[in-house]
Amino acid sequence: MMCGLNFQNASHETMMKILSLLLVVSAAGCTKEPVRMNLVTQRGPIAPRTIQIEASSSINGRPMGDDPSLRNRVAAAFQKQFPGAQVVQSEPDMVVFFTIVDYVPGCSPDCKKFKTYRNWNCEVEIYPRDSHPNTDTIVFNLDGSTYNPFHNPASSCASRLLKASRSKK
């Protein structure tokens, strides 16, 4: 599997062969997305009226920080899945925390990945509309990594949240 390759010690010729093979395999993606979820019983589908988006990134050596462009992409993905929802800055029904980096967090500096590698985390907290002291907050987590530059992790997070909520009824 191409996901675990280390390109540091490869010769130029070997690197070209690997890149050629990578191009062929990239159509399949090499994407991993394990889901963790604490979903309580609901009285219907998830249908937030308001969504707050928090998005940060660290790509190409840029320090981790707020990313307005990423926030807009995440907002668009969630509004596509939840078309009636309005993006707000406070007091939302749903909060999305989205982080994307081009390295493996916690990995030492000598374990660089190929330039298309992305590692992300999407956490969604959904607050019940009818706030009751005994009602739990729904928490959905999607972690992922890919070498596929065409994979859209924000869209994947929004659609997998919707699918997961429908399957837990």
Question: How does strand 65-66 pair with strand 86-87?
Answer: unpaired
Q: Distance between CA atoms of 141 and 125, rounded to whole angstroms?
A: 9
As beta bridge partners, residue 119 has 101, 145
Q: Which positions ≥6 away from 114 have C-beta within 8 Å?
A: 5, 7, 22, 147
Distance between CA 169 and CA 165 in Å, rounded? 7
Domain 30-167 coded CATH 3.30.160: yes
Contacts of 45 (CB under 8 A, 6+ apart): 162, 165, 166
CB atoms within 10 A of CB 103: 16
| pLDDT values of the chain reduced to their tens digit, one per residue, 169 residues | 445 545 455 566 665 555 554 554 444 456 666 666 565 555 567 889 999 999 999 998 889 999 999 999 999 999 999 999 999 999 899 999 999 999 887 776 667 778 889 999 999 998 876 655 555 678 889 999 888 899 999 999 999 998 887 775 4
> Residue 120 belongs to what H/E stretch?
strand 118-126
Helices marked H in the chain — which ranges? 12-26, 68-81, 153-167
Whole-angstrom distance, CA of residue 96 vs CA of residue 77: 11
Domain coordinates in residue numbering, the chain? 30-167
| C-alpha to C-alpha distance for 119 and 144, rounded to whole angstroms | 6
